[in-house]
Amino acid sequence: MVQETHVSAANLIFPLFIVDGVNQKTEVASMPGIFRYSIDNLLREVESCMKLGLNSFDLFPNISEELKDKYATESHREESLYLRAIREVKNNFPEACVITDVAMDPYSSDGHDGIVENGEILNDETLVVLGRMALAQAYAGADIIAPSDMMDGRVGYIRKTLDDAGFKHVSIMSYSAKYASAFYGPFRDALNSAPKFGDKKSYQMNPANQREALIESRLDEAEGADFLMVKPALAYLDVIKLIKDNTELPVAAYNVSGEYAMLKAAVQKGWLDEQHAITEVLTSIRRAGATAILTYHAKEVLENKWL
């Protein structure tokens, strides 16, 4: 009667990794229980999630090295693995909510989220690539476009690109406060997308800053974002709360790969109670103010009836 916070299937978004080929299902070494699926197996996975009431998916592609280039051209090639996967999921499960990732890194030979020239990220030139990518994803059937790149001005640019092409109904979930975090390591293993040099500190946020998250979020809101996101979640619960208190938009939080990995590693060693730790993590992210949680725990909490 007095419990203030609840987590339900409707709050959860399940990130899924896609790999080329047929009948592939390979576990990510640093993320026990999380797999890269070929499209056929991806469809089976989506179906089994939907039977559990889990309807929202965020897709990420593992692109083979020879398809990567400086301008991430594979990201908007019509027959690319990623665009085929979006079309297949939407054709087979029209009622699934498909969230798509906009950023250059999975397709970039430099492993960065933007175009690199002489060691610098070219912000404005990158927007053109992001716009093409977002548009190709909208044509493929994406319901929500989620730019995770942190270039300045990309929400407005993508919004205009989508609107001009008649995709007014496609929403934007902006990674608005995304920090330059150590906790993305396992995700970069999953996609083989680690930067080939340098780091992402010139475009992702300084973990020491809280007020800057407000600046970033307000800009994205003014540019037309439909959701604001804070990422990672656990080391940034104060930021989730701050954003929640300063917007009427829905707030999402990304319970990232490193947060998943450290919990699972401790569970494997018998150092934590799995059910208790996972439900406490998800509840705390909801309590801080997130309505949507992107989490690798999404399926297991429903399968085990832990919510």
- Among the listed ranges 87-95, 122-130, 180-188, 264-272, the one in contact with ligand PBG (CB under 6 A) is 180-188
Region binding ligand PBG by CB under 6 A among candidate stretches 118-126, 181-189, 236-244, 299-307: 181-189
Rule CB under 6 A: say whether 107 interacts with ligand PBG: no
Indicate the DSSP class of residue 206: P
For ligand PBG, the closer CB: 6 or 201:
201
Strands in the chain per DSSP E: 12-18, 25-28, 31-37, 56-61, 97-102, 115-117, 120-122, 144-147, 171-178, 227-231, 251-255, 292-295
Instruction: Give 210's DSSP letter.
Output: S
Question: Does residue 34 interact with ligand PBG by CB under 6 A?
Answer: no
Select the span of 40-48, 129-137, 184-192, 242-250 touching ligand PBG (CB under 6 A). Answer: 184-192
> Cβ 4 to ligand PBG, closest distance in Å?
27
Helices (H) and strands (E) in the chain, counts: 10, 12
Q: What Rg value do the Cα atoms of the chain yield, rounded? A: 18
113 close to 200: Cβ distance less than 8 angstroms: yes
Considering only residues 239 through 268, tell me which ones interact with ligand PBG, judged by CB under 6 A: 256-257
Residue with tokens 């979006």: 86
Under the binding rule (CB under 6 A), the answer on residue 103 touching ligand PBG is yes
Q: Which of 14, 17, 187, 236 binds ligand PBG (CB under 6 A)?
A: 187
**Rounded Cα–Cα distance for residues 257 and 197 (Å):** 21
231 catalytic per annotation: yes
Question: What are the C-alpha distances in Å from 244 to residues 9, 68, 71?
Answer: 21, 37, 35
Positions 55 through 84 that interact with ligand PBG (CB under 6 A): none
Of the residues 68, 178, 244, 264, only one is catalytic, namely 178
Please, are residues 288 and 244 in contact by the beta-carbon 8 Å criterion?
yes
Nearest to 303 by CA among 89, 48, 56: 48
128 vs 165, which CB is nearer to ligand PBG? 128
Among 74, 88, 105, 110, binds ligand PBG (CB under 6 A): 105
Number of residues engaging ligand PBG in binding (CB under 6 A): 11
Residues 188-207 that bind ligand PBG (CB under 6 A): 188, 200
Catalytic residue annotation: 178, 231
Residue ranges that bind ligand PBG, judged by CB under 6 A? 103, 105, 113, 148-149, 184, 187-188, 200, 256-257
